[in-house]
Amino acid sequence: MGAGWSTEEERQPLLGPGLGPAPGTVWRSREAAAASGVPAAVPGPGRVYGRRWLVLLLFSLLGFAQGLVWNTWGPIQNSARQAYGFSSWDIALLVLWGPIGFLPCFAFMWLLDKRGLRVTVLLTSFLMVLGTGLRCIPVSDLMLKRRLIHGGQLLNGLAGPTVMNAAPFLSTTWFSADERATATAIASMLSYLGGACAFLVGPLVVPAPNGTSPLLASETSRTHIKDLIETVLYAEFGVVCLLFSATLAYFPPRPPLPPSVAAASQRLSYRRSFCRLLSNMRFLMIALAYAIPLGVFAGWSGVLDLILTPVHVSQVDAGWIGFWSIVGGCVVGIAMARFADFIRGMLKLILLLLFSGATLSSTWFTLTCLNSITHLPLTTVTLYASCILLGVFLNSSIPIFFELFVETVYPVPEGITCGVVTFLSNMFMGVLLFFLTFYHTELSWFNWCLPGSCLLSLLLILCFRESYDRLYLDVVVSV
């Protein structure tokens, strides 16, 4: 790490001057501190607190609720059309509000960097309360109701930058070096698990329409479906309000003492961080390797019901496929992160294995959907297997990517680093969903985007040269 990386204008270490030296502090000369970018006094082994698990639980549940609310409409799009008169454009736009919410992503990154975790999380949860509450306002005018639902989805989308970006920041602030990857995986995966539960909750609570068009459907059937959808909306509103109350009651910004050397070290300023990221070709390479396939997969998952309709897959089956593909990815992702905590320095190898599997499984799914040409068997088993494997390989790579990003560009703050890559991912997702609104009658091109993006990412990871600057600081400097 260069000697000029820490200046007076940069952020101060977590271990403030008023705290004094902690037990086990390693005192180092100013010259050594300037050469490494670490404060002159850093804690040796660090200290962790039991309350870190409560902080992780609250943040993870908030991410779970945000993912659940975001994916409310995709799994029940046929029922929503009949109840509220949604068009294909409306359904795609309801999913699109997620990536649109990432447009002010850099403002949330600035807030996280300057004001800390508590203020940012409280603002995020408050936006979710407003968004879910807006969807529950009882109005009889369907046009106004649709606008309220769109507004609620947008406010929930604005909560996305925090729940998607702040996981590495939280893990560095509260967890020791041998727990960081696991904490990052739990905090980041729960948001995807919330989206997966929407595939389960929606179709099980809300019945699919009987095949009649919305204009010809009976008023009784439409009212019944609408009542059940509103039951889901009220339940989500209640959960979000409960989480906001818990966060308001207890969510400390940081522990009294930092858990590691990296948590106590100085970081680059907001402006210098962007300059460092945009000038680092290795970071840009691995950022594209993350953003392109994960953006494509997120958009594909959001309209999975629409994609599987031409191959005669029911709304309930599509919901189960989406559910198990994301749940499998969450479980494997946390297991992979725990493995990475035990066997350090293996992040690139793990990503190569995961994206090799993702390329093969996405190709299998795409060719299966073209069974009239490829003559591959199109059965529920093959669709389940290919989709679940694809979700396992792609979703489990997310925490591994996050840790590799932070290691590559350290001492750039974690929130800024992950904010840039998730912003890129959501932009790719948004572009694909935008095209989907115009070409929703022909979706074979969307399926081909999956293996193409996975193969491109595999090549980028293969050419990437990994480094572990933050890990080196914790392992070597603290000894």
pTM above 0.85, yes or no: no
Helix 347-369 to helix 380-395 angle (10° resolution) is: 150
By the 8 A CB rule, do 84 and 226 touch? yes
- Are 131 and 154 a contacting pair, CB within 8 Å? yes
Q: What pLDDT sits at residue 192?
A: 84
Q: Please report which residue ranges of 250-370 form alpha helices under DSSP H.
A: 261-264, 270-278, 281-302, 304-308, 315-342, 347-369
Q: What's the Cα-to-Cα distance from 167 to each of 112, 259, 261, 264, 401, rounded to whole Å?
A: 11, 16, 18, 17, 12
Q: How confident is the model at residue 302, as a pLDDT?
A: 63
Predicted local confidence at residue 31, as pLDDT: 36
Average pLDDT for the chain = 80
- pLDDT > 80? residue 429: no
Instruction: Round to whole Å and give the CA distance between 180 and 228.
Output: 41
Separation between Cα atoms, residue 87 and residue 399, nearest integer Å: 36
> How far is 261 from 263, CA to CA, in rounded Å?
5
**Using one digit for the tens of pLDDT, what is the confidence trace for 165-180?**
889 899 989 998 888 8
Nearest CA-CA partner of 79 in 174, 201, 252: 201
Ramachandran area for residue 85 (φ above 0: left; ψ -120 to 50: alpha; else beta): left
- At residue 296, the pLDDT reads 84
Q: Which residues have C-beta within 8 Å of that of residue 18, sequence separation ≥ 6?
A: none
Angstrom distance (rounded) from CA 258 to CA 265: 10
Nearest residue to 355 (alpha-carbon basis) of 460, 203, 477? 460
pLDDT for residue 444: 63
- Ranked by mean pLDDT, which of 157-161, 177-181, 269-273, 413-417 comes out on top? 157-161
The confidence score (pLDDT) of residue 243 equals 95
Query: Which letter does DSSP use for residue 87 in this model?
Result: -
Average pLDDT over every residue of 206-212 = 67
| Confidence label for 155 from pLDDT (cuts 50, 70 and 90) | very high
Distance CA 469, CA 36 (A): 10
pLDDT tens digit sequence for 126-136? 999 999 999 99
pLDDT in tens, 326-339: 888 888 889 988 88
C-beta atoms surrounding 414 within 10 Å: 31
Residue 103 reports pLDDT greater than 60: yes
pLDDT category of residue 198 using cuts at 50, 70 and 90:
confident
C-alpha to C-alpha distance for 332 and 123, rounded to whole angstroms: 31
User: What percent of the chain shows pLDDT beyond 70?
Assistant: 82
* Domain 50-260+269-467, CATH homologous superfamily name and number: MFS general substrate transporter like domains (1.20.1250.20)
**Residue 260, SS3 per DSSP:** coil
Confidence of residue 441 (pLDDT cuts 50, 70, 90): low
Residue 416 has pLDDT above 60, yes or no: yes
- The domain locations on the chain are 50-260+269-467
pLDDT at 35 over 60: no
Place of tokens 């572009």: 431
C-alpha to C-alpha distance for 51 and 253, rounded to whole angstroms: 12
Distances (CA, A) of 432 to 160, 259, 286, 299, 447: 18, 41, 21, 7, 11
List CB contacts of 291: < 8 A, sequence separation 6 or more.
421, 422, 424, 425, 427, 428
pLDDT at residue number 476: 67
SS3 42: strand
Question: Which of the pair, 105 or 200, is modelled with greater confidence?
Answer: 105
How confident is the model at residue 25, as a pLDDT?
37
Region 102-114: mean pLDDT is: 86
For residue range 273-331, list pLDDT tens digits in order.
Answer: 888 888 989 999 999 999 889 888 877 776 676 777 667 777 667 767 777 888 888 88
